[in-house]
Amino acid sequence: MRRFFSILLCISMIICMAGCTGTRATEPANNNVYVIGFSQVGSESDWRVANTKSMTAAFADDPDYELVMENARQEQENQFTAIRRFILEGVDFIIIAPTVEEGWETILAEIKEANIPVIIMDRSVAVEDESLFLTNIGSDFLHQGNLAVKWLEGEIPADKQAKILHLQGTIGATAQIMRTKALEDAVTQHSNWEITGQLYGDFTEAKAYEVMTEYLKTNKDIDVLYSENDNMTFGAMRALNEAGISYGNGGQVKIITFDATKEALQYCHDGKINLCVECNPLFGPRVKELIEKYRNGEEIPKHVYVDESAYTTQNITQDFVDSRAY
């Protein structure tokens, strides 16, 4: 009799599991709370910290949701571990901010197999099968790079040479690939532009300071610094200060930076940074809206871009800097 009941129990568990998998995508698996596993890149920059805050704040006061965030400390392997745990725990939804573009097919297939919907946020993934994710919300990084290039075209007369020092973010991340592409393409089109050095700063202030300090020991002939994020720019500015090289409006080096965080905008307003290209990290409310649309069975676009512009000393006011939310 006992055996009969355990067999019955097993059968009902199997039926329940099958049923649960079928409905999990839109209905919470447990306690009426919709659990979201969020694999975040790291905390490498002010941009990232603002992004994490925006994501957690969007779900924090809503009892219908629980956001479980795992910080990958900029390692894709850590993302795989976190995501596999999310699958095991049976979360209702997964959000991934991918460190780099390549290498996502297998893990995305595992998530699909578990019938869990996925949003790719911020950077992109390079996969052929776009059915592996619901949508990709982020910036148009090539557009950002092109905004910088356009501004530089207006700054460098055709008969003047421009020696450009290029500080690169995490190699293989969409933000790095596209910002680099815009610059490299532009250099091939301007015979008077030259990239005199490409330094790897990994999107962090500490790394940028280290590589810049080393570089400046033997190379001081720089007209433009093209830095792929604000924190690397801050590190580079420190190294330039120590090397006694002037920068900003009227200085030797024109500085181009990406993100346009409050601190960078303040430097720009004060004439220390020449161009801030905006990259908005405040995705939280939009990601939540997309998840709700999905749960309501509404159509959501495959790619969602945010609107962004560029700022110079000439087009920002102190009020604008003060009102900056990140």
Long-range contacts of 239-242 (CB under 8 A, 24+ apart): 239/208, 239/209, 239/212, 239/213, 240/212, 240/216, 242/213
Rounded to 10 degrees, the C-alpha dihedral 180/130/281/267 comes to 10
Paired residues of 255 in beta bridges? 225
Site string for ligand GYE, 93-112 (x = CB under 6 A): --------------------
202 lines the binding site for ligand GYE (CB under 6 A) = no
Work out how close the CB of 113 gets to ligand GYE at its nearest, in angstroms, rounded to a whole number.
Answer: 28
Query: Shortest Cβ distance from residue 73 to ligand GYE (Å)?
Result: 12
- Shortest Cβ 88–ligand GYE spacing (Å): 28
Three-state secondary-structure class, residue 87: helix
Which of 133, 258, 283, 326 is close enough to bind ligand GYE by CB under 6 A?
Answer: 258
SS3 245: coil
**Residue 223 binds ligand GYE (CB under 6 A):** no
Minimum distance from residue 277 beta carbon to ligand GYE (Å): 9
Contact 259, 230 (CB under 8 A): yes
Region binding ligand GYE by CB under 6 A among candidate stretches 40-48, 192-200, 233-241, 265-273: 40-48
Q: What are phi and psi of 90, to 5 degrees?
A: 70, 40
Q: Is 278 in the site for ligand GYE (CB under 6 A)?
A: no
Q: Is 203 in the site for ligand GYE (CB under 6 A)?
A: yes
What b/e string do you get for 54-86 counting C-beta neighbours within 10 Å, with b at 16 or more? bbeebbeeeeebbbebbbbebebebbbebbeeb
45 is a site residue for ligand GYE (CB under 6 A): yes
Q: Contact with ligand GYE (CB under 6 A): which of 279, 290, 291, 321?
A: 279
**For ligand GYE, which residue of 24, 123, 269, 288 counts as binding (CB under 6 A)?**
123
Provide Rg for the chain, Cα atoms.
23
Judged by the rule CB under 6 A, the positions of this chain that interact with ligand GYE are: 44-45, 47-48, 122-123, 139, 173, 175, 203, 229, 258-259, 279
